[in-house]
Amino acid sequence: MAIISVSFLRHKITSSDAATYNQSSISETELSDLAKEVLCYIYDNYIEPHSLATATTPPTSLCLVGVGNAYRGINRFLSARGCRRMVTSVLCFVSGSLRPVSSETDPGLSTWYRSHSRIYVGETHTVWNHDDIVRRIQKMRFGSVIKAIGCSSVDSMLKLLVHPLPEAINFINDKIAAWKDLNSSYLGDPDETEDEEMTG
């Protein structure tokens, strides 16, 4: 098991000269673009080339966890790369706007996303204030959006992370177990392997 953690600053430095040092906020769109670009780079160069199944090992499995604006980067990454065969689960903790996943080349992405994601949103988030928005976010392309009871929009992100933790851990464990069962066909029967070695 390995963990790759990526963090993005909310500000960008616009000058390398200390005398004219200046920083400005990164827009949500810029942050989303950056997160998608970095995730695609990591996937293309470090994960996908080293994750092929062999006779004795299944392909690599991934659990994607996004906090805050990283959620949008994960959505865009899933839309840009055909990687769902490796992704066991997607967990996101969102305080900003909710966005759907979409793919012109993968019509099954929305259905898959709904069953493999947990998108936690505080109970006082504005999406819960309007019935039409609640109906819209219940569509498959938004994933499985969950109202985090006990977490308000003014609470810290830490509370939004900690409060649903037991349910989130169970979700990840269940998805990993299901993925292992599904991919067990990649693994040979160890008894047969031993017999072959003894007779070979």
Quote the CA–CA distance of 98 and 138 in Å, as a whole number: 11
What are the DSSP E strand ranges found in 128-192? Answer: 145-148
Residue 20: inside a domain, yes or no?
A: no
Task: Return the pLDDT at 154.
Answer: 61
Specify the DSSP element, H or E, that contains 12. Answer: strand 11-13
Please give the structure tokens belonging to residue 161: 């992370």
Residue 139 resides in a domain? yes
In a domain, 130, yes or no: yes
- Enclosing domain of residue 131: 28-43+60-182
Q: Is the pTM of this model over 0.85?
A: no
Residues 6 or more apart in contact with residue 165 via CB below 8 angstroms: none
Q: Is residue 19 part of a domain?
A: no
Q: Are 60 and 85 in contact (CB under 8 A)?
A: no
- Does residue 52 sit within a domain? no
Residues 8 and 30: beta-carbon distance below 8 Å: no
Whether the Cβ atoms of residue 66 and residue 93 lie closer than 8 Å to each other: yes
Report yes or no on 1 lying in a domain: no
Domain count, the chain: 1
Mean pLDDT by 10 residues, the chain (200 residues): 72 55 68 89 88 67 87 91 87 89 88 94 89 92 90 71 86 86 62 47
Residue 134 lies in a domain: yes
Q: What is the pLDDT of residues 76-115, one digit of tens each?
A: 999 998 888 888 899 999 888 899 998 888 889 999 999 9
Q: Is residue 9 part of a domain?
A: no
- Quickly list DSSP for 34-89: HHHHHHHHHIIIIIGGG----SS-PPP-EEEEEETTHHHHHHHHHHHS--TTTEEE
pLDDT at 148: 87
